[in-house]
A and B are shown apart, each in its own frame.
Chain A
């Protein structure tokens, strides 16, 4: 087993059973179909895919909420199919979900962040230390006494992230954490994630369908029909505009514009990620 790898999955397959009106199994649908995923510690990984591509199913495997029908998955060296490691896996790989309201358990911010450490059976004093540190890391310490109902979407999602950090995971899996947020909230959450990756060296696995969010990732995977169909650095991925579009992904406007200009004969580099880069490249012509 490779010590630098936090996630080692090979040949992962998972099927959902579809039931007919009488409750009998009618069909099987492959949500994951032979996925290989290897993630090194401290990396920022992004998994892209449109709805129904299997990316959420993959996310749930990383936290052992689902276990693969075929193939093996090791999280921080623990086999996810072995029930005795369940708590250890969930401590190693925390998970943040899409809907901020449906993942906050406590009725006060600090109590929610303490929920994970409470489940781990830590002594009271240590729970408080962790809660304080986690809330400070996401910039929500001042709101610790508030009811979650009084927070904005972005703030709730930061509290949810704090709840995961308080368990001191090696890796955080975020399953479309910004899908229900406004642009301001989205920025807040992405900023928080990036800081955690850089300062705390926590491995981040960001699952999303917004391509703009993945430009700073170390590695990007694109999923379609339960398979990983593309992988590489953001620049490598973004230079293949036609292929991305064939997987129903929306390419960022700057990338698309650069690609179209290039097609018309302008001498621009491949895989332009942001407006600033495009402006620079155009100035150099």
Chain B
């Protein structure tokens, strides 16, 4: 049951997207998501679609991986679409009893579906081409300015990378405790959801106790190696912008401008609506 969880959906590769500075990819994803919401029109979605297709092709990641994320939010999208269709006031197209579907509602639902699925695909491209470590590094360096408003950026990034480092260890520990409890007659499989949840208690308590013990040991080990927070700390693998990263920033800016122009001057209407 718990054995199947895998973390991080990094897809190893050497494409240009894999090699880009994580800060560029974070900025790009952010610009992409903001553009979906700020410039919401059929014509700008055409531009976004083109951009997504280009990114998927140059990432060299099989498109199936990209779309995998969509499955998990399919239900959410369906519910959102239904609510939008029925509850948005405006010109009714179909009317059954007290329920009505409005033109505005259908438009809204389509926009919403586009936004959500593009948001998921867009961020999948980032997580599939960036290792979790690069991601935390990128966040730490990219958000360094937030130190000035007293956000402990370094500490948060450090916590994230330690959490990532300990996931395999805690997984192994979980399996060990499970085997130990099963060998003493514990039953993790049968019963309804409540019984199943209850049966996890003898698994979770030892796991928590051991996690705290490990945390304590690790804190000592970090201190012993001179860790004293982010001040005066240097980097073994500093993030340095290369030429390709600057080009990528230009492309991102170009994309944002195209999205804006398509939204402002694009005149494509949804063809099948009255």
Contacts and interface: CB of A to CB of B under 8 A. Distances in A.
Interface of A: 60, 63, 65, 86-87, 90-91, 94-95, 97, 99, 101-108, 110-111, 114-124, 127-128, 131, 147-149, 163-164, 167
Contacts, number: 91
Interface in B1-52: none
Nearest to A148: B165
Contact of B236 (A97, A102, A131): A131
Q: Does more than half of chain B's interface fall in helix, strand or loop, or is it mixed?
A: helix
A116 B226 contact: yes
Pairs A-B, 5 closest by C-beta atoms: A102-B217, A103-B221, A114-B236, A119-B226, A95-B224
B236 A65 contact: no
26 contacts: A63-B224, A65-B223, A87-B226, A90-B224, A94-B224, A95-B225, A99-B214, A99-B217, A101-B169, A102-B217, A102-B218, A103-B217, A105-B218, A107-B161, A107-B165, A111-B133, A115-B225, A119-B225, A119-B227, A122-B234, A124-B234, A124-B235, A127-B236, A131-B236, A149-B169, A167-B226
A104 B169 CA distance: 11
Contacts of B220: 60, 65, 97
A91 B223 CA distance: 11
Q: Does more than half of chain A's interface fall in helix, strand or loop, or is it mixed?
A: helix
Contacts of B238: 124
Contact of A90 (B164, B226, B233, B237): B226
Q: Which of B169, B224, B232, B238 has the most CB of A within 10 A?
A: B224
A141 to B, nearest CB: 15
B225 A164 contact: yes
B233 A121 contact: yes
B222 interface: yes
A86 B226 CA distance: 8
B168 interface: yes
Interface string B158-175: 000110110011000000
Given A111-B236, A118-B235, A119-B233, A105 B162 contact: yes
Contacts of B161: 107
A164 B222 CA distance: 11
Contacts of B234: 117-118, 120-124, 127
A102 B226 contact: no
A164 B221 CA distance: 10
B95 interface: no
B227 A107 contact: no
B199 to A, nearest CB: 27
B231 to A, nearest CB: 9
Given A111-B237, A122-B234, A124-B236, A105 B224 contact: no
A105 B226 contact: no
B100 to A, nearest CB: 55
Nearest to B236: A114
A1 to B, nearest CB: 23
Interface in B196-248: 214, 217-218, 220-228, 232-238
Contacts of A91: 226
A69 to B, nearest CB: 19
A63 B227 CA distance: 13
A149 B167 CA distance: 10
Q: Which of A65, A102, A147 has the most CB of B within 10 A?
A: A102
Nearest to B238: A124
Contacts of B168: 147, 149
Nearest to A108: B133
A60 B219 CA distance: 13
Nearest to B132: A107
A101 B221 contact: no
A116 B222 CA distance: 8
B224 A117 contact: no
Nearest to A97: B221
Contacts of B225: 90, 94-95, 105, 115-116, 119, 163-164, 167
A2 B143 CA distance: 49
Contacts of B214: 99, 101-102
A63 B165 CA distance: 25
